[in-house]
Amino acid sequence: MKFFADTADILAIKKLSTLGLIEGVTTNPSLIAKSGRDILEVTREICEVVDGPVSAEVTALDHKTMMAEANVLKQIASNVCIKLPMTLDGLQTCRALSEQGVKTNVTLCFTVNQALLAAKAGATFVSPFVGRLDDIGLDGTQLVRDIRVVFANYDGLSTEILVASARTASHISQSAIIGADAVTAPPALIEGLADHPLTDKGLAGFIRDWESTGQSILSMQ
Protein backbone atom coordinates (compact mmCIF):
# COMPACT_ATOMS: atom_id res chain seq x y z
CA MET A 1 0.00 0.00 0.00
CA LYS A 2 1.40 3.37 -1.01
CA PHE A 3 1.61 6.20 1.55
CA PHE A 4 0.81 9.76 0.51
CA ALA A 5 1.26 12.81 2.75
CA ASP A 6 -1.96 14.79 3.16
CA THR A 7 -0.48 18.25 3.54
CA ALA A 8 0.89 21.33 1.78
CA ASP A 9 3.59 21.77 4.44
CA ILE A 10 6.79 21.55 2.38
CA LEU A 11 9.08 20.96 5.38
CA ALA A 12 6.98 18.01 6.56
CA ILE A 13 6.94 16.62 2.99
CA LYS A 14 10.74 16.95 2.68
CA LYS A 15 11.21 15.13 5.99
CA LEU A 16 8.95 12.20 5.02
CA SER A 17 10.50 12.04 1.56
CA THR A 18 14.03 11.89 3.01
CA LEU A 19 12.88 9.05 5.28
CA GLY A 20 11.57 7.26 2.17
CA LEU A 21 8.11 6.97 3.70
CA ILE A 22 5.93 8.62 1.04
CA GLU A 23 5.18 7.95 -2.59
CA GLY A 24 2.89 10.90 -3.23
CA VAL A 25 1.12 13.93 -1.76
CA THR A 26 -2.46 15.13 -1.61
CA THR A 27 -3.55 18.71 -1.04
CA ASN A 28 -6.95 20.37 -0.97
CA PRO A 29 -8.15 23.98 -0.81
CA SER A 30 -8.25 23.88 3.01
CA LEU A 31 -4.66 22.61 3.23
CA ILE A 32 -3.48 25.27 0.75
CA ALA A 33 -5.26 27.93 2.84
CA LYS A 34 -3.58 26.56 6.00
CA SER A 35 -0.15 26.76 4.34
CA GLY A 36 -0.69 30.43 3.51
CA ARG A 37 1.11 29.79 0.19
CA ASP A 38 0.27 30.41 -3.46
CA ILE A 39 -1.17 27.15 -4.88
CA LEU A 40 0.99 27.15 -8.02
CA GLU A 41 4.19 27.93 -6.13
CA VAL A 42 3.68 25.39 -3.33
CA THR A 43 2.52 22.65 -5.72
CA ARG A 44 5.60 23.21 -7.89
CA GLU A 45 7.85 22.91 -4.83
CA ILE A 46 6.13 19.71 -3.71
CA CYS A 47 6.52 18.22 -7.21
CA GLU A 48 10.26 18.95 -7.08
CA VAL A 49 10.54 16.92 -3.85
CA VAL A 50 8.20 14.01 -4.62
CA ASP A 51 8.29 11.98 -7.86
CA GLY A 52 4.91 10.28 -7.34
CA PRO A 53 1.44 11.78 -7.85
CA VAL A 54 0.78 15.17 -6.24
CA SER A 55 -2.93 15.95 -6.08
CA ALA A 56 -3.92 19.57 -6.68
CA GLU A 57 -7.63 20.35 -6.49
CA VAL A 58 -9.75 22.47 -8.81
CA THR A 59 -12.02 24.96 -7.07
CA ALA A 60 -14.58 25.65 -9.80
CA LEU A 61 -17.97 23.97 -9.68
CA ASP A 62 -18.74 23.83 -13.42
CA HIS A 63 -17.10 21.58 -16.03
CA LYS A 64 -15.84 24.34 -18.32
CA THR A 65 -14.06 26.25 -15.57
CA MET A 66 -12.79 23.01 -14.00
CA MET A 67 -11.15 22.19 -17.36
CA ALA A 68 -9.59 25.66 -17.52
CA GLU A 69 -8.23 25.31 -13.97
CA ALA A 70 -6.98 21.78 -14.67
CA ASN A 71 -5.11 23.09 -17.71
CA VAL A 72 -3.25 25.54 -15.45
CA LEU A 73 -2.55 22.98 -12.71
CA LYS A 74 -1.36 20.20 -15.03
CA GLN A 75 1.33 22.47 -16.47
CA ILE A 76 3.03 22.76 -13.07
CA ALA A 77 4.75 19.37 -13.42
CA SER A 78 4.22 16.00 -15.08
CA ASN A 79 3.33 14.33 -11.77
CA VAL A 80 0.42 16.64 -10.93
CA CYS A 81 -2.78 14.68 -10.40
CA ILE A 82 -5.94 16.76 -10.87
CA LYS A 83 -8.28 16.42 -7.91
CA LEU A 84 -11.95 16.78 -8.76
CA PRO A 85 -15.04 16.82 -6.57
CA MET A 86 -17.55 13.96 -6.70
CA THR A 87 -20.18 15.89 -8.67
CA LEU A 88 -21.56 15.39 -12.17
CA ASP A 89 -19.38 18.25 -13.44
CA GLY A 90 -16.40 16.74 -11.62
CA LEU A 91 -17.07 13.36 -13.27
CA GLN A 92 -17.41 14.95 -16.71
CA THR A 93 -14.09 16.71 -16.19
CA CYS A 94 -12.54 13.48 -14.93
CA ARG A 95 -13.61 11.69 -18.12
CA ALA A 96 -12.21 14.45 -20.35
CA LEU A 97 -8.88 14.58 -18.49
CA SER A 98 -8.57 10.78 -18.43
CA GLU A 99 -8.97 10.73 -22.21
CA GLN A 100 -6.06 13.19 -22.40
CA GLY A 101 -3.95 10.86 -20.25
CA VAL A 102 -3.98 13.23 -17.27
CA LYS A 103 -3.94 11.65 -13.79
CA THR A 104 -7.10 12.33 -11.75
CA ASN A 105 -8.28 11.89 -8.17
CA VAL A 106 -12.03 12.02 -7.50
CA THR A 107 -12.41 13.30 -3.96
CA LEU A 108 -15.17 13.50 -1.33
CA CYS A 109 -16.35 9.92 -1.93
CA PHE A 110 -18.75 8.61 0.74
CA THR A 111 -20.55 5.68 -0.94
CA VAL A 112 -19.80 2.63 -3.06
CA ASN A 113 -21.94 4.05 -5.85
CA GLN A 114 -19.88 7.24 -5.91
CA ALA A 115 -16.72 5.12 -6.18
CA LEU A 116 -18.27 3.21 -9.10
CA LEU A 117 -19.06 6.47 -10.89
CA ALA A 118 -15.47 7.67 -10.40
CA ALA A 119 -14.18 4.40 -11.87
CA LYS A 120 -16.54 4.67 -14.84
CA ALA A 121 -15.24 8.22 -15.42
CA GLY A 122 -11.73 6.75 -15.73
CA ALA A 123 -10.37 8.20 -12.47
CA THR A 124 -6.80 7.25 -11.60
CA PHE A 125 -7.74 7.42 -7.91
CA VAL A 126 -10.95 7.59 -5.91
CA SER A 127 -10.73 8.97 -2.38
CA PRO A 128 -13.14 7.52 0.21
CA PHE A 129 -13.12 9.80 3.29
CA VAL A 130 -13.00 7.36 6.19
CA GLY A 131 -12.57 9.85 9.06
CA ARG A 132 -15.47 12.06 8.05
CA LEU A 133 -17.76 9.00 7.89
CA ASP A 134 -16.62 7.94 11.38
CA ASP A 135 -17.28 11.52 12.55
CA ILE A 136 -20.99 11.09 11.81
CA GLY A 137 -21.23 7.67 13.44
CA LEU A 138 -20.79 5.57 10.27
CA ASP A 139 -18.01 3.09 9.51
CA GLY A 140 -15.46 4.57 7.10
CA THR A 141 -13.39 1.41 6.97
CA GLN A 142 -16.44 -0.61 5.90
CA LEU A 143 -16.78 1.69 2.88
CA VAL A 144 -13.19 0.89 1.84
CA ARG A 145 -13.90 -2.84 2.28
CA ASP A 146 -17.04 -2.58 0.13
CA ILE A 147 -15.31 -0.61 -2.63
CA ARG A 148 -12.50 -3.20 -2.71
CA VAL A 149 -15.06 -6.00 -3.17
CA VAL A 150 -16.94 -4.15 -5.90
CA PHE A 151 -13.81 -3.20 -7.84
CA ALA A 152 -12.58 -6.81 -7.63
CA ASN A 153 -15.88 -7.94 -9.18
CA TYR A 154 -15.04 -6.11 -12.41
CA ASP A 155 -11.66 -6.60 -14.10
CA GLY A 156 -12.17 -3.48 -16.21
CA LEU A 157 -12.02 -1.15 -13.22
CA SER A 158 -8.45 0.02 -12.81
CA THR A 159 -9.16 2.97 -10.52
CA GLU A 160 -7.00 2.85 -7.39
CA ILE A 161 -8.54 3.19 -3.93
CA LEU A 162 -6.81 6.09 -2.15
CA VAL A 163 -8.05 6.09 1.45
CA ALA A 164 -8.42 9.71 2.61
CA SER A 165 -9.37 11.57 5.76
CA ALA A 166 -7.33 9.04 7.77
CA ARG A 167 -7.23 10.05 11.43
CA THR A 168 -5.93 6.99 13.28
CA ALA A 169 -3.29 4.27 12.98
CA SER A 170 -6.15 1.80 12.76
CA HIS A 171 -7.47 3.54 9.63
CA ILE A 172 -4.10 2.84 8.04
CA SER A 173 -3.62 -0.76 9.21
CA GLN A 174 -7.21 -1.67 8.32
CA SER A 175 -6.79 -0.13 4.85
CA ALA A 176 -3.72 -2.29 4.29
CA ILE A 177 -5.52 -5.41 5.53
CA ILE A 178 -8.39 -4.70 3.12
CA GLY A 179 -5.96 -4.15 0.25
CA ALA A 180 -6.46 -0.45 -0.46
CA ASP A 181 -3.96 0.77 -3.05
CA ALA A 182 -2.90 3.87 -1.12
CA VAL A 183 -3.64 5.92 1.96
CA THR A 184 -3.13 9.63 2.46
CA ALA A 185 -2.57 10.86 5.99
CA PRO A 186 -1.25 13.86 7.92
CA PRO A 187 2.56 13.68 8.38
CA ALA A 188 2.30 13.29 12.19
CA LEU A 189 0.08 10.22 11.76
CA ILE A 190 2.54 8.62 9.32
CA GLU A 191 5.52 9.31 11.59
CA GLY A 192 3.59 8.04 14.61
CA LEU A 193 3.23 4.60 12.99
CA ALA A 194 6.83 3.89 14.08
CA ASP A 195 5.92 4.31 17.76
CA HIS A 196 5.08 1.57 20.26
CA PRO A 197 5.63 1.63 24.04
CA LEU A 198 7.13 -1.86 23.95
CA THR A 199 9.61 -0.70 21.29
CA ASP A 200 10.67 2.17 23.60
CA LYS A 201 10.87 -0.14 26.62
CA GLY A 202 12.78 -2.82 24.71
CA LEU A 203 15.25 -0.32 23.31
CA ALA A 204 15.90 1.21 26.76
CA GLY A 205 16.65 -2.31 28.09
CA PHE A 206 19.04 -3.11 25.24
CA ILE A 207 20.92 0.18 25.73
CA ARG A 208 21.14 -0.32 29.50
CA ASP A 209 22.52 -3.88 29.12
CA TRP A 210 24.91 -2.80 26.38
CA GLU A 211 26.33 0.00 28.51
CA SER A 212 26.97 -2.53 31.32
CA THR A 213 29.42 -4.35 28.97
CA GLY A 214 31.60 -1.27 28.59
CA GLN A 215 32.02 -2.13 24.89
CA SER A 216 31.93 0.26 21.91
CA ILE A 217 31.44 -1.11 18.40
CA LEU A 218 33.22 1.85 16.82
CA SER A 219 36.36 1.40 18.95
CA MET A 220 36.69 -2.27 17.88
CA GLN A 221 37.72 -1.58 14.25
Residues that bind ligand E4P (CB under 6 A): 6, 26, 28, 107, 127, 129, 131-132, 164-165, 184
Q: How far is the CB of 185 from ligand E4P (least distance, A)?
A: 8
DSSP string, 191-210: HHTT--HHHHHHHHHHHHHH
Name the strand (E) or helix (H) holding 42: helix 39-49
Spot the catalytic one: 83, 103, 120, 201: 83
Q: How far is the CB of 200 from ligand E4P (least distance, A)?
A: 28
Q: How far is the CB of 4 from ligand E4P (least distance, A)?
A: 8
Closer to ligand E4P by Cβ: residue 31 or 203: 31
Burial 105-135 (b: 16+ CB within 10 A, else e): bbbbbbebebbbbbbebbbbbbbbbbeebbe
Closer to ligand E4P by Cβ: residue 26 or 200: 26
Closer to ligand E4P by Cβ: residue 6 or 9: 6
Task: Report the chain's C-alpha Rg in angstroms.
Answer: 20
Closer to ligand E4P by Cβ: residue 32 or 116: 32
Name the strand (E) or helix (H) holding 185: strand 182-185
Distance CA 138, CA 35 (A): 30
Q: How far is the CB of 143 from ligand E4P (least distance, A)?
A: 13
Query: Is 83 considered catalytic here?
Result: yes
Report, as residue numbers or ranges, the catalytic residues: 83
